[in-house]
Amino acid sequence: MSILDGWDGWDGWDGWDGWDGWGSGSGSRGPRGNNAMALLRSREAVVGPYGGSGQLRMPRGTADLPEAHDTDALMSWSRDVRHRILLNELLSSVQYEASVGRVMLAHGNQLIAGVSRPNSKLFEAQANLVEEWAIHRAERAAEILAQQKLNLAFWDAIVPLNPRTTPFTIELILLSVAFTSHVVQRFKHELNCPRPRAYSPRIQPLLAEPGYSVLPSGHATESFMLAGLLASLIQPKKQQPPARAAEQKAWFDETSLQMHRLAARIATNRVVAGIHFPVDNAAGQLLGVTLAEFIEHCALGSQGRGWIPREFLGTHGLLTGRFEFDPFDRTQSLVEPRDDYVKTNLDARSGTKVTAPIEMIEWIWGKARAEWE
């Protein structure tokens, strides 16, 4: 799924672009068109006739041009412009290597994540599971419909997100979702796996079928990325009085758990709706968790935790027609050593920490993190 398809269309909050009553929808503070004639007359009265007064430069503390390549200049640009600049920084930091049925994502010469697709027999067998899960459609229909696009109301219900108090957190969320969407669409294109109804006319999906491939699940990828990203941002300060530290840890642990439960439910709802297989969610969780770690690394570099390179092996024997996605099952853990349908290289994590952060991603992360301190 793409941010251009409406993941940033949080309609209830889009109005904050015009917080001052006269900002344009793009975030610039310029007059609306119906003020043009009034401003024309006002200028004539206020400025008076041309007087040839020469330069009347606004004081900047220097007579020279503003500093070039100044990361702090991002603060002067509108949010949509910052979004494009920062998205370009993230996208240009990764490379893809695709072979038949397999895609690898890397940062320089270091693996971030890889996915190889299952064979058609697994998808055909899992179609029976998708049909079984259709029994839950009636009770989950409201959620399924509300979660077609990124709906931050679900996340705000767990951790407070507000355009006035956490504007940079919201910017970082939309940036990270856009980056993740670009990555997952490249994986989907290369792996090219049909959706469930291609295997059975009994599926009859609840939603219109998206116009792209099924593996990995975009909702799972983006939701688990978002759960990991927010968990990193809201971590309590390390230096706290013991009593306060215990309180904050209890809040953080519960909040993080609920966010990961939400990510799992959003992913599962796509299977219930009949447009994904459980195996799609397993691949999406792996990609999303790893991308959250990578985005944090782009901001923190060696001061962060690095990321764990992981690969999803779709043809592994443990993936059967009865495989059910359950991220809270320890056998499906992504933070412990694995060498089955998931390969985790824990030893490589220390190596990922040595690469430098991306300066502009470090800037937006710092702004967002400060909103939680």
CATH number of domain containing 134 = 1.20.144.10
* Closest to 279 (Cα-Cα) out of 342, 206, 203, 202: 342
Question: What is the domain extent for residue 227?
Answer: 3-7+76-370
Residue 273 falls within a domain, yes or no?
A: yes
Global pTM?
A: 0.87
Residue 186 falls within a domain, yes or no?
A: yes
Q: What is the pLDDT of residue 167?
A: 95
Residue 194 falls within a domain, yes or no?
A: yes
Taking the CA of residue 292 as centre, how many other CA atoms within 13 Å lie in the half-sphere pointing to its CB? 22
Residue 42 falls within a domain, yes or no?
A: no
Q: What is the pLDDT of residue 212?
A: 92
* Closest to 97 (Cα-Cα) out of 80, 86, 82, 113: 113
Helix (H) or strand (E) holding 345: none
Other Cβ atoms less than 10 A from the Cβ of 121: the count is 10
Residue 322 falls within a domain, yes or no?
A: yes
How many domains in the chain? Answer: 1
In the chain, what are the helix, strand and coil shares in percent, each to the nearest 5?
55, 5, 40
Residue 31 falls within a domain, yes or no?
A: no
Residue 13 falls within a domain, yes or no?
A: no
Question: What φ, ψ does residue 96 adopt, rounded to 5°?
Answer: -115, 145
Q: What is the pLDDT of residue 53?
A: 62
Residue 269 falls within a domain, yes or no?
A: yes
Q: Which residues of the chain have pLDDT under 50?
A: 1-28
